[in-house]
């Protein structure tokens, strides 16, 4: 009966939270326009909706939704483990190890000393003896090491960050998050020995090690189960839900085993659910054939999980605690930041990392969340005399870290130059403009072909290659513009804001430099790259570029001629008075109008519609147009011009 009432009360709680999560998503997107991380928007939404501001979410409701926290944490831990791909990190393992050791060694020492020096100003420590003060300081120093993999992964995914700086930061974050659990277990044992004035319990330490080993083995077992699920022919969303359920099961198993061992055994057996899920994700990525599938599913469910987790975390933040302890919390937070700066810089120097990365790396390690909160609450349970006040103070520090950390991490990635976010391209101005990078015979032919179809074309040529260009290429009637180097300043001088298509026909290295800058600064969708080496296909595809490999293009074209000669002739413009164009819907009055209701010429056929980057391959009469749709149409040239005028904007 009680369980029935619980589920009845849970339904409105879930409905309320769903509305808040939806608001968090919208606010996160709004703050993104202000160059703030999505995570910050989710947190702020939760804080505003929480019990200490608008009161839309009560403390009781937050507690009833605690299982969402655990589901999200399990899924995030899967994602964290999957990011540790050994083949990619192999070259970074030395740096990751050195920086991790530096942080794990230096931050607890400085944190412990800092808390000891502040002891006379911390109310609950004022009446404690020296050994008890040392015990409190050791526990605080350990918790200050904790990081937030969830925040790190959320921001890395948001910025599509990739590179040595990002790899090192993520690797260090994962190692620290596992290490801090082990370090806390040891610190807790030392604290108990100091407070009770007993010898150090090696038996207790053995139980801790046993729990860690068991967690690792359980993680491998869960990876085997996930592999089996991925081998089944079921819908992707069912697989995502299954992965979430397995992550949550780690928390349930941990709680049950701890309760059982507490009641019936001499020691509590502690499994670490985050470690279990991390190991499972790590195993899936490195030791199974489902690495790509697993990564796809993690990304598929990630956006929903991050919104739920961070908005609930924001709502659960104890602003009343921060109000009462903000000065001491600010002092400890400052000590933590100083310790992280010293440790990350020292580790970077020893690892011989670049000076630029050494100056930035500290900003990536500020955020704290789930693990730190969990450890602070552990202290409250383990040391009831002063644990509650201790937990209150440390949660205040974590609140500050959670609010300040994500923007700092985003700033660090942007400064490192490893962000791969796509810029928003300017609206179509009514003229089809293209820039071809590289002056050669093929680019000349392409430029003339585009001009025949009504495009305005420029050919961009590096000044360094001018001496090699023949007079035949340089003295034609095409518009040729020179640029100094492949950098942002030079591209800005080409006025690419309203360019609709970019074709790169230089070396792969030069093409990639141009493509990356265009992706990040201008957001041009129609980016075509002529490959020189097919091995580079993936890195161009990661930037949304379409690649053409000359070594296979001729074979593919001949194959198309054999299988579909009529369609291939049409595609190549060899069919008399027939063409294929892509037309962007710019007429607001057509938004929501079904294709069957359009009065189109009889000799045109709509092939496909591309909407928000997704191509709808199958269209029918009831398909409704939306503003900004890109409609691919085949028909006579005269009819296509008429359709272009009707839809509002033409990109032929």
Domains held by the chain: number? 3
Of 388, 416, 444, which residue sits at a domain end? Answer: 416
Instruction: Look at residue 218 and tell me whether its pLDDT is greater than 80.
Output: yes
Q: Which helix (H) or strand (E) holds 502?
A: strand 501-504
Among 104-118, 347-361, 459-473, 628-642, top mean pLDDT goes to 104-118
From CA 29, how far away is CA 41, in angstroms rounded?
8
- pTM as predicted: 0.57
The CATH number of whichever domain residue 528 belongs to comes to 3.40.50.720
**What is d(CA 46, CA 307) in angstroms, rounded to the nearest whole number?**
10
428: in domain: no
Give the DSSP letter of residue 585: B
374 and 281 within one domain: yes
Q: Is 55 left (phi over 0), alpha (psi -120 to 50) or beta?
A: left
Same domain, 532 and 617: no
Whole-number average pLDDT of the chain = 78
Closest CA to 80 of 209, 177, 2: 177
- 350 and 442 part of one domain: no
Higher pLDDT, 47 or 391: 47
For residue 528, what is the enclosing H or E element?
strand 526-530
- What would you measure as the largest C-alpha separation in the chain, in angstroms? 96
pLDDT at 216 over 80: yes
Strands of the 614-616 sheet, one edge to the other: 578-584, 630-636, 604-611, 614-616
With a cut of 70, say whether residue 418 has pLDDT above it.
yes
Q: How far is CA 40 from CA 20, 140, 319, 404, 422, in A?
A: 15, 25, 16, 9, 20
Where is 489: in which H helix or E strand? helix 488-492
Whether residue 569 is contained in a domain is answered as no
344 and 455 housed in the same domain: no
> How many other C-beta atoms are found inside a 10 Å radius of the C-beta of residue 358?
18
Q: Over 80: is that where the pLDDT of 478 sits?
A: no
Q: Are 429 and 359 in contact (CB under 8 A)?
A: no
Least confident range of 128-142, 352-366, 637-651: 637-651
Q: What's the confidence (pLDDT) of residue 371?
A: 66
Exposure pattern of 287-310 as b/e (b: 16+ CB <10 Å)?
A: ebebeebbbebbeebbeebbbbbb
Residue of higher predicted confidence among 83 and 93: 93
Distance of CA 181 to the CA centre of its chain: 24
Residue 571 has pLDDT above 60, yes or no: no
- Give residue 562's pLDDT: 65
Distance CA 476, CA 623 (A): 46
Indicate whether 499 and 386 sit together in one domain. no
User: Could you give the percent of the chain with pLDDT greater than 90?
Assistant: 6
Residue 424 domain flag:
no
pLDDT digits (tens, 9 = 90+) for 340-370: 999 999 988 998 888 888 888 888 888 876 5
**Residue 222: pLDDT over 90:** yes
Mean pLDDT for the stretch of residues 331-337: 91
Handedness of CA 337, 340, 342, 345 (dihedral sign): negative
Residue 347 φ/ψ, nearest 5 degrees: -60, -40
- 570 domain-assigned: no
117 part of a folded domain: yes
| Same domain? 535 vs 588 | no
Question: b or e along 506-538 (b: 16 or more beta carbons within 10 Å of the residue's beta carbon)?
Answer: bebebbbbbbbbbbbebbbebbbbbbbeeebee
Are 523 and 377 within one domain? no
Where does the pLDDT of residue 652 fall: very low under 50, low under 70, confident under 90, or very high at 90 and above?
Answer: very low
pLDDT digits (tens, 9 = 90+) for 366-386: 887 656 766 776 676 677 777
Please tell me whether residues 467 and 439 are part of one structural domain: yes
Q: How far is CA 376 from CA 139, 144, 393, 394, in A?
A: 9, 10, 9, 6
The answer to the question of residue 474 being in a domain is yes
Mean pLDDT value across residues 483-510: 83
Range picked from 105-114, 144-153, 368-377 for highest mean pLDDT: 105-114
Domain match, 551 and 620 both: no
First-to-final CA distance of the chain: 67
Average pLDDT value for residue range 22-42: 77
Buried b / exposed e over 445-455, threshold 16 CB at 10 Å, is ebbeebeeeeb
On whether both 412 and 441 belong to a single domain, the answer is no
Q: In Å, how far are 74, 322, 377 from 255, measured between CA atoms?
A: 14, 29, 14
pLDDT at 650: 45
pLDDT above 70 covers a percentage of the chain that reads 82
| Statement: residue 339 has pLDDT above 90 | yes
User: Confidence class of residue 292 from pLDDT cuts 50, 70 and 90?
Assistant: confident
CA 304 to chain centre: 12
166, 103, 89, 93: which is closest to 347 by C-alpha?
Answer: 103
Q: How far apart are CA 92 and CA 90, in angstroms?
A: 5
Residue 561 belongs to a domain: no
pLDDT score of 334:
92
Q: How confident is the model at residue 407 (pLDDT cuts 50, 70, 90)?
A: confident
Give the CATH number for residue 612: 3.30.70.1450
Assigned token pair, 437: 């990078």
| 397 and 445 both lie in a single domain | no
Q: What is the arithmetic mean of pLDDT over 206-212?
A: 77
Residue 99, CB-side half-sphere exposure with 13 Å CA sphere: 30
CATH code, domain carrying 231: 1.20.1530.20
SS3 352: coil
Structure tokens at 500: 């609709």
Average pLDDT over residues 161-165: 77
163 and 298 fall within a common domain: yes
Hey, is 460 helix, strand or coil? strand
Does 66 fall in a domain? yes
> Where does the pLDDT of residue 570 fall: very low under 50, low under 70, confident under 90, or very high at 90 and above?
low
Contact, 461 vs 469, CB < 8 A? yes
Q: Which domain holds residue 473?
A: 433-555
Picking from 379, 407, 383, the residue whose alpha carbon sits closest to that of residue 391 is: 379
Question: Which of residues 555, 588, 617 is at a domain's end?
Answer: 555
Dist CA 346 CA 348 (whole Å): 5
* End residue of a domain, out of 493, 520, 555: 555
pLDDT (0 to 100) of residue 449: 80
């Amino acid at each position: 009966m009680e369980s029935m009432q619980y589920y009845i009360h849970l339904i409105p709680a879930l409905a309320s939270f769903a509305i808040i999560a939806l608001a968090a998503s919208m606010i996160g997107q709004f703050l993104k326009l202000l160059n703030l991380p999505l995570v910050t928007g989710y947190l702020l939404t939760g804080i505003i909706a929480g019990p200490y501001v608008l009161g839309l979410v009560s403390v009781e409701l937050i507690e009833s939704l605690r299982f969402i926290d655990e589901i999200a944490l399990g899924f995030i831990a899967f994602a964290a483990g999957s990011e540790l791909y050994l083949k990619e990190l192999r070259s970074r393992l030395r740096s990751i190890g050195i920086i991790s050791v530096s942080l794990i060694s230096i931050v607890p020492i400085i944190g412990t000393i800092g808390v000891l020096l502040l002891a006379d100003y911390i109310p609950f420590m004022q009446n404690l003896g020296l050994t008890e003060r040392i015990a409190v300081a050791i526990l605080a120093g350990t918790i200050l090491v904790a990081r937030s993999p969830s925040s790190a992964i959320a921001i890395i995914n948001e910025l599509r960050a990739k590179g040595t700086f990002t790899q090192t930061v993520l690797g260090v974050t994962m190692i620290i998050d596992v290490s801090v659990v082990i370090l806390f277990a040891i610190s807790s044992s030392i604290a108990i020995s100091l407070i009770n004035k007993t010898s150090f319990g090696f038996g207790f330490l053995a139980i801790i090690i046993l729990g860690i080993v068991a967690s690792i083995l359980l993680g491998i077992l869960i990876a085997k189960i996930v592999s089996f699920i991925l081998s089944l022919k079921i819908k992707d969303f069912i697989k995502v839900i299954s992965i979430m359920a397995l992550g949550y099961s780690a928390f349930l198993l941990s709680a049950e085993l701890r309760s059982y061992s507490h009641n019936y055994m001499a020691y509590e057996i502690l499994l670490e659910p985050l470690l279990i899920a991390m190991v499972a994700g790590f195993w899936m990525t490195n030791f199974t054939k489902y690495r790509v599938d697993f990564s796809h599913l993690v990304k598929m469910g990630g956006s929903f999980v991050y919104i739920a987790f961070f908005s609930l975390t924001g709502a659960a933040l104890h602003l009343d605690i921060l109000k009462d302890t903000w000065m001491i919390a600010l002092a400890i937070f400052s000590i933590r930041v100083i310790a992280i700066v010293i440790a990350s810089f020292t580790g970077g120097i020893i690892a011989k990392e670049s000076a630029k990365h050494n100056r930035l790396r500290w900003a990536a390690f500020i955020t704290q969340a789930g693990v730190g909160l969990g450890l602070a609450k552990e202290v409250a349970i383990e040391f009831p005399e002063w644990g509650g006040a201790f937990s209150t103070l440390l949660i205040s520090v974590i609140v500050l870290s959670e609010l300040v950390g994500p923007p700092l991490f985003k700033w660090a990635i942007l400064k490192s130059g490893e962000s791969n976010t796509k810029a928003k391209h300017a609206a179509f101005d009514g003229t089809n403009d293209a820039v071809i990078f590289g002056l050669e015979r093929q680019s000349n032919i392409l430029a003339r072909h585009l001009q025949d179809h009504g495009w305005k074309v420029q050919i961009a040529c590096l000044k360094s290659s001018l001496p090699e260009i023949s007079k035949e290429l340089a003295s034609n009637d095409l518009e040729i513009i020179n640029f100094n180097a492949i950098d942002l300043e030079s591209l800005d001088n080409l006025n690419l804001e309203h360019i609709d298509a970019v074709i790169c026909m230089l070396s792969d290295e030069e093409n990639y430099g141009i493509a990356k800058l265009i992706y990040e600064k201008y957001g041009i969708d129609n980016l075509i790259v002529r490959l020189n080496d097919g091995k580079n296909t993936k890195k161009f595809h990661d930037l949304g570029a379409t690649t053409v490999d000359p070594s296979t293009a001729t074979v593919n074209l001949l194959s198309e001629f054999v299988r579909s000669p009529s369609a291939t002739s049409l595609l190549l413009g060899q069919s008399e008075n027939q063409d294929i164009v892509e037309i962007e819907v710019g007429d607001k009055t057509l938004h929501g109008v079904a294709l069957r209701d359009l009065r189109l010429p009889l000799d045109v056929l709509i092939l496909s519609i591309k909407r928000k980057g997704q191509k709808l391959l199958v269209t029918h009469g009831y398909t409704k147009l939306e503003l900004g749709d890109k409609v691919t149409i085949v028909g006579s040239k005269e009819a296509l011009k008429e359709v272009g005028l009707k839809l509002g904007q033409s990109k032929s």
